[in-house]
């Protein structure tokens, strides 16, 4: 099959009735660079991508939120440290902690923002080799019960794109022990730890399972022929997972 014949993922010529009206917000900060990629991934699953501006207060009645990658506010002070105080983040924090448990996915800089916001524990610091790194990265799914991972099998290995400079996940030993004991490690690095993250942690979840953060980029692995070589589509499961979660009446 030639490159021009590679299909998009799925057939969306006929909208899926259950997904009509599913709205997933994508937050843009000054310095965000992967918001359009995240929006495209959302649209490929049949949902509506809703742009959310950092300085606004209105969540626009979205059903879930993606905080994408980039360098919000130029990573001044610390990556995510200023973005945490944006008006939009205040509403996201409240909604994620409410009884409704708004699903929130933080990717790369989004993960950094979630730790700075205390929606997830720990922190992100510079890679142990002190260099920016971009590569295809194998991950193991450690928890497939969250709003963002339920379409994967536990123990499944997926390949998505990794690109970061401040990607080393750190936390104190007590926190790391609790994350492992409570099954809150969502993803771990396989084969090689690319940034020195403690205990090979690539992504974590909160106790409720509605907030997930990870350093690699699932939104860059959603179309055949445009992602990592072996399939290119391993990241799509994040976005179909949240739709399955919403359609299941857990909205």
Query: Active-site positions?
Result: 108, 217, 219
Q: Can you read off the two tokens belonging to residue 111? A: 């993960």
Q: Are 96 and 102 in contact (CB under 8 A)?
A: yes
User: What count of other Cβ atoms lies within 10 Å of the Cβ of residue 170?
Assistant: 15
Residues paired with residue 187 on neighbouring β-strands, in sequence order: 141, 203
C-alpha angle 52-91-96 in degrees, rounded to nearest 5: 105
Interhelix angle for 236-245 vs 35-44, to 10°? 60
Residues paired with residue 28 on neighbouring β-strands, in sequence order: 53
In sign, the C-alpha dihedral spanning 225, 148, 216, 136 is: negative
SS3 248: helix
With b for 16 or more beta-carbon neighbours within 10 A and e for fewer, the 205-228 pattern comes to bbeebbbbbbbbbbbbbbbebebb
**H-type helices in the chain, by residue range?**
35-44, 87-97, 109-116, 173-181, 236-245
**Strand (E) or helix (H) holding 27:** strand 23-28
Residues paired with residue 217 on neighbouring β-strands, in sequence order: 161
- State how far the Cα of 93 lies from the Cα of 86, in Å rounded to an integer: 11
Q: Can you read off the two tokens belonging to residue 235? A: 């990241």
């Amino acid at each position: 099959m030639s490159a021009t014949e590679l299909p998009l993922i799925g057939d969306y010529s006929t909208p899926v009735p259950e997904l009509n009206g599913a709205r997933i917000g994508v937050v843009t900060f000054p310095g965000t660079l992967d918001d359009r990629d995240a929006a495209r991934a959302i649209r490929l699953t049949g949902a509506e991508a809703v742009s959310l501006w950092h300085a606004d207060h209105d969540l626009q009645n979205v059903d879930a939120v993606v905080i994408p990658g980039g360098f919000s506010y130029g990573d001044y002070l610390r990556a995510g440290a200023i973005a945490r105080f944006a008006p939009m983040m205040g509403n996201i924090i409240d909604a994620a902690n409410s009884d409704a448990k708004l699903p929130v996915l933080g990717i790369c800089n989004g993960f950094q923002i979630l730790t700075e916001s205390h929606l997830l524990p720990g922190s992100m610091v510079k890679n142990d080799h002190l260099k920016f790194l971009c590569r295809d990265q194998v991950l193991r799914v450690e928890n497939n019960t969250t709003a963002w991972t339920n379409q994967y099998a536990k123990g499944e290995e997926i390949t998505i794109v990794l690109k970061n400079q401040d990607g080393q996940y750190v936390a104190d030993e007590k926190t790391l022990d609790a994350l492992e004991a409570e099954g809150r490690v969502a993803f771990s690095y396989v084969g090689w730890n690319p940034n020195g993250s403690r205990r090979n942690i690539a992504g974590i979840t909160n106790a409720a399972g509605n907030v997930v953060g990870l350093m690699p980029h699932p939104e860059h692995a959603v179309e055949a022929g445009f992602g990592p070589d072996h399939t290119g589509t391993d990241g799509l499961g994040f976005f179909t997972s949240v739709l399955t979660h919403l359609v299941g009446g857990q909205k």
